[in-house]
């Protein structure tokens, strides 16, 4: 009987010690958890840096196409070369269009002469008013045709709509190109904007003029920028919104297509 009591006593004693050990362990674990959570809570309260990916886009960028069916006579600029606004980029062989223009101008002069003669005869009652009206219609038709040929000949020279660089030549000199054929791709790297993709939940706090930094991966130099306008549509699948920004101090050496990271201090 005594041995049974001793066994029960030892078991209860061991259980009590185990409970005390577990209590002490969990108390220590709570203290460690509190210590670890304090820095995290402070960091969240002060506001962490928000980041988004973006890319530089050229405001002035175009693919110039042919408006004539003609042979290319001259293309003075090659890939990477710079040009100024108004410089000749492509010149076509327009001898056929120029001949048509000369013929149409001659037709205009003939119709003018015919109209003048009919008007004089009408004053002398030699012809009726119908003859004068027909002559006026002939002259109007000749003038319209001449204007068409003038427009065609004006398209024999393709000039630069803005200053920039040649990205790619789609055709080569001496090639015959049809109407609508792409000729040159050009870009102006002096006027760039930033296209960002940000979480849609930022929309409530995004405002034009808000400052941020943009660091291109290719240069590693942080550039000061500001928000110009948010996008007009949220992507339903990714819950993202496009955002357009501009560089406050554009620097040389930047090229359209450079990608990088945008950083917003605190809440965007």
**Across 46-60, 148-162, 199-213, least confident range:** 46-60
* Pair of tokens at residue 67: 């408006």
- Do residues 199 and 235 lie in contact, with contact meaning Cβ atoms separated by under 8 Å? no
* CA-wise closest residue to 142 among 101, 104, 116, 99: 104
244 and 218 housed in the same domain: yes
Question: Does residue 156 sit in the same domain as residue 249?
Answer: no
At 216-248, the pLDDT tens digits run 999 999 999 999 999 889 988 999 999 999 999
- Residue numbers of the domain that contains 199: 50-60+189-264
- Cα distances (Å, whole numbers) of residue 260 to 192, 197, 221: 14, 11, 10
Which pLDDT score is estimated for 11? 59
Rounded-to-integer distance, Cα 254 and Cα 266, Å? 27
For tokens 């175009």, the residue is 62
For the chain, what is the domain count?
A: 3
Name 5's bridge partners.
Answer: none
Shared domain for 144 and 244, answered yes or no, is no
DSSP state of 202: G
Arithmetic mean of pLDDT over the chain: 83
Residue-wise pLDDT tens digits, 87-96: 999 999 999 9
- Mean pLDDT along residues 171-199: 95
pLDDT single digits (tens) 116-152: 988 888 888 777 888 889 889 999 999 999 999 999 9
259 vs 4: which has the higher pLDDT: 259
- Do 24 and 85 fall into the same domain? no
For residues 187-194, average pLDDT: 95
């Amino acid at each position: 009987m005594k041995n049974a009591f001793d066994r029960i006593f030892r078991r209860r004693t061991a259980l009590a010690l185990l409970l005390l050990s577990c209590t002490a362990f969990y108390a220590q674990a709570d203290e460690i958890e509190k210590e670890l959570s304090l820095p995290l809570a402070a960091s969240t309260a002060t506001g962490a840096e928000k980041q988004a990916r973006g890319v530089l886009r050229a405001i002035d960028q175009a693919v110039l196409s042919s408006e004539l069916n003609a042979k290319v006579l001259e293309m003075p600029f090659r890939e990477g070369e710079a040009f100024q606004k108004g410089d000749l980029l492509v010149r076509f062989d327009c001898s056929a269009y120029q001949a048509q223009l000369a013929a149409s101008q001659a037709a205009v002069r003939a119709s003018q002469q015919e109209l003048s003669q009919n008007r004089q005869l009408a004053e002398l009652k030699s012809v009726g008013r119908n003859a004068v009206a027909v002559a006026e219609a002939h002259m109007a038709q000749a003038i319209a045709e001449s204007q068409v040929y003038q427009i065609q000949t004006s398209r024999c020279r393709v000039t630069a709509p803005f200053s920039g660089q040649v990205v790619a030549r789609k055709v080569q000199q001496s090639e015959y190109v049809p109407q609508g054929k792409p000729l040159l791709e050009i870009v102006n790297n002096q006027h760039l904007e930033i296209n960002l993709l940000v979480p849609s939940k930022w929309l409530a706090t995004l405002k034009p003029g808000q400052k941020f930094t943009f660091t291109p991966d290719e240069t590693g130099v942080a550039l000061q920028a500001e928000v110009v306008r948010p996008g007009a549509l949220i992507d339903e699948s990714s819950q993202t919104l496009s955002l357009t920004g501009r560089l406050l101090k554009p620097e040389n050496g930047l090229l359209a297509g450079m990608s990088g990271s945008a950083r917003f201090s605190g809440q965007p």
